[in-house]
Amino acid sequence: MPDSSEANIATADALTLLLHNQHAICAAIEEVTKWLLESGLENIAANAIGAMETLDKNAQGITDAIMRLRQS
């Protein structure tokens, strides 16, 4: 069984990968949002902007957790 330090590193590494995926998803949503706005679909674009705001907010929480794991 791995010790706590090894488990923390593995968890932090996995969370880092998920965070990178989250950033990529946000970038893709941003591109779609630009297209929606250019197409005159402001209401749908507003929903996409809300999704990006949620991704951004949660990214900070994930980053904080990664830092705590790496420091322990």
Q: What is the pLDDT of residues 1-56, one digit of tens each?
A: 467 899 999 999 999 999 999 999 999 999 999 999 999 999 999 999 999 999 99
Distances (CA, A) of 62 to 18, 41, 45, 53, 54: 9, 32, 25, 14, 12
**pTM of the entire predicted model:** 0.81
Domain range annotation of the chain: 4-71
Which of 52, 57, 53, 8 lies closest to 28 in space, CA to CA? 52
User: Residue 42 and residue 40: Cα distance in Å, rounded?
Assistant: 6
pLDDT confidence bin for 72, thresholds 50/70/90? confident
Over the stretch 54-68, which tens digit does the pLDDT of each residue have? Answer: 999 999 999 999 999
Q: Is 2 helix (H, G, I), strand (E, B) or coil?
A: coil
Q: Distance between alpha carbon 56 and the CA centroid of its chain, in Å?
A: 6
